Amino acid sequence: MTLDRLRAAARPTADAEAAHHRDLDHLAEVLQRRGLDLEDAVRRTSEFEVAIPSWALGTGGTRFGRFPGPGEPRDVWEKMEDVAAVHALTGAAPRVSLHVPWDEPDDPAALRRHAEALGLGFDAVNSNTFQDQPGQRHSYKFGSLSSADAAVRAQAVEHIRHVVDVGVTLGSKAITVWLADGTNYPGQASLRGAFERVLDGLRQVYRHLPPDWTLFTEHKPYEPAFYSTVVQDWGSSLMLAQALGERARCLVDLGHHLPNTNIELVVARLVTAGRLGGFHFNDSKYGDDDLTAGSIKPYQLFLVFNELVDARRDVGPSFAPAYMIDQSHNLKDPLEAMVQTVDHLQAARARAELVRRDALEGYQAANDVVYAERCLREAFETDVTALVAEVRRRRGGALDPVAAFRASGWRAFAATARAGAGGATYVPPQSL
Ligand code: PSV
Ligand code: MN
């Protein structure tokens, strides 16, 4: 597959470029009136990059059905091409977050070379001890690292260590461990015992990490376990990180919170603890819905980025969480959805860069509730379309990456080039 057709579609017409510059000049003037510098905001927004999950490039599915479209990638090699496509259009997606075993390559070194030739690298790798794989000796039906059976626990540790080894060959520097472990009924397992067994297993994984690696634990309150989940909230995740050591961090998946949880507060707490490791961006109405980030609760996404930008300012350049997308699209073209998601994330970051932080601190010191809130809303309500387009333009991306994707005819081209496409990767845990 050629990326040239995308690059060609990304090049703006003279009229589009002229309109863009007029919009940009207008925004510069609006920002100047607020004492903000457009160029600063462009530069800081450009720092944002996000990894694309290998499992999100094919149509997902629910436990009721799956409706794949033509031209989806048939294997992990073609998935790299699709990530390269997202990066070509957005200039902000240069890494892949690989799932093992869903997208485990036969030859990780060859996959790394393939990715590098496409201008890509690898972010955190993801283990899977929530499904049984063909030929697997012991079942995870009653848990993995928390299992009452030592042989199951040992198998899970061995798998996660294997994922680290795969990641080392790929050039990753982190592993994300999400566990489905938990119970459906009171009494099914010892609540304390299960947690201690998970900690013990993660200690064995942690000892296996290369010195420059980080371990992310990802919490989730429920599903597939409905009575108790072992790593159910950020507090449990933090306990694990603190018990494991400096290179263990907490990963916040935006879909892994009970309704009405103040996620930006969770972010703030983990920043204070020095343990915010990474993100899985998505959006949700009910739970782990895997929807496009910012599609349902854009203000929440902005408030999360507001904390991140604030933390970056206070902590300095060492504050560098791993940003990843974790979505599974059933209705949208998966590639188009990824491009749209990166755009939403860049916009949220840009808005957060426009918060007049000194003014906000002043309003907070004076207990001026209305003006403090207005200060945030002023940034949130700013039309940052031109700003984000400019960030992309300077990185060789498209002014409007979704429109460029459509104009490129990529999907129709892929449908021919990838005859017999399957692309199945994501099996929702509930369907097991
Ligand atoms: C679990 O719901 C999760 O969010 C974890 O991040 C997994 O790695 C991902 O989905 C794919 O199952
Ligand atoms: Mn996740």
Contact 321, 349 (CB under 8 A): no
| Rounded CA separation 104/27 (Å) | 45
336 within ligand 1 shell (Cβ under 6 A): no
- 271: tokens are 């920043």
| Rounded CA separation 201/154 (Å) | 8
280 within ligand 1 shell (Cβ under 6 A): yes
pLDDT bin (cut points 50, 70, 90) of residue 424 is: very low
Q: What is the pLDDT of residues 404-423, one digit of tens each?
A: 999 999 999 999 999 865 54
Q: What is the pLDDT of residues 316-365, one digit of tens each?
A: 999 999 999 999 999 999 999 999 999 999 999 999 999 999 999 999 99
Whether the predicted pLDDT of 18 surpasses 60: yes
Q: What is the pLDDT of residues 63-112, one digit of tens each?
A: 899 999 999 999 999 999 999 999 999 999 999 999 999 999 999 999 99
Instruction: Give the atom of ligand 1 at the shortest distance from the alpha carbon of 255.
Output: 4
The residue to mutate among 176, 177, 218, having the most atoms of ligand 1 within 8 angstroms of its beta carbon, is 218
Instruction: Give the atom of ligand 1 at the shortest distance from the alpha carbon of 128.
Output: 8
Please report the pLDDT score of residue 427 as a whole number.
45
Mean of the per-residue pLDDT values of the chain: 95
400 within ligand 1 shell (Cβ under 6 A): no
Q: What is the pLDDT of residues 262-312, one digit of tens each?
A: 999 999 999 999 999 999 999 999 999 999 999 999 999 999 999 999 999
Ligand 1 mean position to 131 CA, how many Å?
12
Structure letter (DSSP) for residue 128: -
- Sequence-distant (6+) residues with CB within 8 A of 409 are 5, 9
The sign of the CA dihedral 118, 45, 51, 298 is: negative
Ligand 2 mean position to 416 CA, how many Å?
32
Amino acid at the residue 290? D
Instruction: Give the atom of ligand 1 at the shortest distance from the alpha carbon of 223.
Output: 2
Give the ligand whose atoms come closest to the C-alpha of residue 129: 1
Ligand 2 mean position to 218 CA, how many Å?
7
